[in-house]
Amino acid sequence: MKPVRTRIAPSPTGENLHIGNAYTALINYVVARQNNGQFIIRIEDTDRTRFVEGSETRILESLSWLGIPHDEGPDNGGPFTPYRQSDRLAIYKQYAEELVKKDHAYYCFCTPERLSAMRKDQEARHEAPKYDGHCRKVESRKSPARNATQSVAGGKVESEKYVIRLKVPEEGTTTFTDLIRGEISFENKLIDDQVILKSDGYPTYHLGVVVDDHLMEISHIIRGEEWISSTPKHILLYKFFGWEPPIYAHMPLLRNPDKSKLSKRKNPVWVSWYKEQGFLPEAVVNYLATIAWTHPDGKELFTILEMIRVFDLKKIQTTAPVFDLEKLRWMNGEYLRRSQKSPARNATQSVAGGKVKSQIFDFYHGKYDEAIIEKTLSLVIERIKTLGEYEMMAGFFFERPKVFERPINKKLLTIAQETLETCIWNHDAMEKAIREAADKAKMKAKDVFMELRVAVTGKTVGPPLLESLELLGKEETLTRLS
């Protein structure tokens, strides 16, 4: 068997790594690791009109944050360098011309005006848009060289703009086997004579992807299902070049809860967003793993290493998997608490330690004092699902509240204030004293506690109140109350 080499081929056209691409990356990485193979990143930056400056760097950063390392790529090189398509233009041109020589492709000189008139006609006739084969016909076929010579004869060298198009057979079908979906066939007469080399000398996606996957010895192409309709063009290219096509597996597209394609408007799509909200990369990866595949033991929480042991690409489900942010939040909360527990399995007391502590220190680095985070973490850890929520819960330890969720009832608050002024500063003593004072004033202790909470924290919900006050200190608490 050929060595297993998988890849993702992101285009630097977005702000950051799309969560759907992160999903594809995870599966490609896992399949490579399962087979002692390599996982490669290739940057497909040939669409210059959609190019976004800095996108490549941010994509690589997000992958590294997720903990999905690559063996070869634009940043770390490898035996098939360069791994960025804009640095490989000469290669595509050479292969495109080889196809022209073999009569599997042809030069097309159609002007944008002609193409748009053609499209309008097709629309008027309710036909699917497709190149009409004008330059394919033998009588009008020419090469740029011939054309240039003709112009020279006219006294002026003028290089006419041209593209190279794939010469798709007019009859027959093109078929491939998808590892997840089985056999898929397309009628050739419905396949467009796709442009493979553009007039600016850049390849289109179809040529670039096939040439590079072949030259980089990619064994498995695992990508989103939106590429299924491109695959017959790729299969034809492999055939025309005389190359063996790789194994294909098209992953299901992630969906919004309403089953529409995962979109910016309905769901956060950039991996950077998940990082900024304080999701843990381990939880994001674990969630993605479960999105269209079930652990054979039915487990929901597992590491990437465990996934590598038991994952089976053929068992990916193809029915519209929903990206459920709530489920991810739940999972993230589990990860936060898990890494928080002491090694003794059933330790009832959470121990502020381990990995989550350093993750939260990093998250709030330069903003909040580590000593205070350390002291307060165990009070809130059971109540938060992301690192970002720590601030919502525990922000009052660092800053006096500027806004209050609701007005304060002074009468109730005074009971608390007067009691605390003379109280020993530990939560049991405070609780006893406030309950007694509330009884005496014929008030409900619960209401007094709530006034106290709002006055000190600004909010009606938060971590255990009296333990929090104990940490906050007597002086600070009384200053806030007054």
Catalytic residues, by residue number, are: 264
Please report how close the Cβ of residue 30 comes to ligand GLU at its closest, in angstroms. Answer: 16
| Residues at the interface with ligand GLU (CB under 6 A) | 9-11, 44, 205, 209, 223, 227
- Cα 75 to Cα 82: distance, rounded to the nearest angstrom: 10
- ∠ at Cα 372 (369, 377), nearest 5°? 120
Question: In b/e form, how buried is each residue of 312-342, taking b as 16+ CB within 10 angstroms?
Answer: ebeebeeeebbbbbeebbebbbbbbeebbbe
- Cα 285 to Cα 24: distance, rounded to the nearest angstrom: 11
- Cα 200 to Cα 152: distance, rounded to the nearest angstrom: 22
Contact 199, 161 (CB under 8 A): yes
User: Is the bond into 82 cis (omega within 30 degrees of 0)?
Assistant: yes
Two tokens at 295?
Answer: 């652990």
> Of 31 and 415, which has the nearer Cβ to ligand GLU?
31
Please report how close the Cβ of residue 33 comes to ligand GLU at its closest, in angstroms. Answer: 19
Please report how close the Cβ of residue 386 comes to ligand GLU at its closest, in angstroms. Answer: 28
In Å, how far are 33, 217, 250, 340 from 76, measured between CA atoms? 18, 18, 27, 34
Roughly how many angstroms between the first and final C-alpha of the chain, as a whole number? 77
Contact 21, 288 (CB under 8 A): no
Place of tokens 């759907």: 20
- ∠ at Cα 120 (118, 124), nearest 5°? 115
H-only helix segments in 324-405: 325-338, 354-363, 370-380, 387-394
- Cα 99 to Cα 258: distance, rounded to the nearest angstrom: 45
